[in-house]
Structure 1
């Protein structure tokens, strides 16, 4: 057995499908997520990206194919189970409380406490110190972790969410369109921290409709269209130009160009 054959993926989807009644949301989708690599899932609205996220995050269960987590065939039944298996999902709208300080959002729902009995209280000093240290470890130099998280830019809030997932022991980080609402500079900041998570050994699933962002950081690329997989490539198998062409419609775009040239001639 070769080393590649013996390799156990953090997550593996093999011919996975999902239907809602008569509606086909996903059909025959396969992908792998490995430690220290970024798998990019590309597609326009309605391509099936959201359904794929929900299956990996434990919100919905697949009804065809196989999902494996660290080599074990499984069916994730809840987001809590996914988290317990080391799968953290950061959604586009971010689950943060804008008026709360950065450190409180960092530990939201998992606040450490000190003291005993009626004197037990949140360990605020630990949370402040740890938040600053963990952000700094990811390369985020945020001097004031007491500022409301709502005062941060969209890119900075995404980066706090990524650092939080890393700190709480995620093995797989699923990012739902983290650069969708950001400008060029802020998108670059987020992609830098996505790469930092990869460099710390996490397996990353980056959901995006932007092939340029995907190609900057991606190791694998899966292209979805109307719930089906229309492309699956490793980085050394495809150029940015071809990835962009496939994302834009490939042969359909060529047919449209041909039609437009005829109409203007």
Structure 2
């Protein structure tokens, strides 16, 4: 698994507008801002890792992008067009797929059934139309191979999938059904190195297909391994917006610890880019 960012010239979505863009997004819970004037561009063909302590606003950001949380101020744009989601369904219809940290599957159903849940393929014409089981199995196997999973029996129950495999299944499903942006909330269940590698392959496959990938994580070293860009949140505000050229894994780890270094970074970035202070 390579952590090297995709080439700018090779990026299939080097378009005029980022796939997703937040402009001064503010979300209040009563008088307390969960997000305070957050701005970020999330381009296609890039992995943006969102990092921050608990309570920094990461979960609220995921909810805004996924259509579950309405914002009080600011603007959310998809391909440069302002949108205001009223439901998660509207976000999905515009190609924003979310992989939740507590991702649930229908445990007694097979892998292929979970892959096509609600959109099962059929063959034939009415009244002889029937479920295309063979086609569904083949499609599931191909889609999983696309994200680096091979040798998985599509007929095995979903309950047999381990952490990493469930998330990879969700990524494969999103790619198959035409998602343009992928928002991944870091799994709660700890993953072994092998499972993290497996999941990382799926994330990198999504990037290679030109999706705007957003990974919310508390692991700065893993973030630096797979990420192209890093959005640091603190107390609901953007504390840093960096690229792999700006920091190495040790720098990112130190910044995640917060304190004086994060304050220094914020001050330095604000001095170089005054517009950050207006967020």
Normalising by the residue count of structure 2, what TM-score does the alignment of the two structures yield?
0.84
- Where do 1:63-82 residues align within 5 Å? 63-82=72-91
Contact 2:148–2:201 (8 Å) recurs in 1: no
Provide the secondary structure at the position in 2 that maps to 1:52.
helix
Q: How many residues align?
A: 251
Local SS of the residue matching 2:107:
coil
- Superposed CA deviations along residues 89-109 of structure 1, whole A, max 9, x for unmatched, are 010111311121100000111
Does structure 1 residue 14 correspond to structure 2 residue 23?
A: yes
RMSD: 2.1
Stretches of structure 1 lacking an aligned partner (at least 5 in a row): 255-265
Aligned partner of residue 174 in structure 2, secondary structure: helix
SS in 2 for 1:65: strand
**What's the offset of the Cα at 1:253?**
9.3
Taking the aligned partners of 2:15 and 2:219, their CA distance within structure 1 comes to 33
- Output aligned runs, 1:1-265, within 5 Å: 7-178=16-187, 181-251=190-260
Question: Does 37-46 or 237-246 show the bigger shift?
Answer: 237-246
Higher relative helix content: 1
* 99-108 vs 242-251, greater mean Cα deviation: 242-251
Alpha-carbon distance in structure 2 between the residues aligned to 1:185 and 1:144? 19
> Cα 1:180–1:151, aligned 2, differ >3 Å: closer, same or farther?
closer
String of CA shifts for 1:228-264, please: whole Å, max 9, x gaps: 221111221222222111111141799xxxxxxxxxx
Quick check: 1:89–1:173 contact (8 Å CA) kept in 2?
yes
- Residues 69-106 of structure 1 show CA distances to partners (whole Å, capped at 9, x for unaligned) of 00001111111111111100010111311121100000
Distance in 2 (CA, whole Å) between partners of 1:250 and 1:121 is: 61
> How many angstroms does 1:137 deviate by?
2.0
Deviates more, 1:150-159 or 1:111-120: 111-120
**Quick one: distance in 1 between partners of 2:29 and 2:260?**
30
**Change in CA separation of 1:179 and 1:190 when aligned onto 2, cut-off 3 Å:** farther
- Stretches of structure 2 that go unaligned for 5 or more consecutive residues are 1-8, 264-279
Moved over 6 A (4+): none
Of structures 1 and 2, the larger Rg is shown by 1
Distance 1:211 1:6, change over 3 A: same
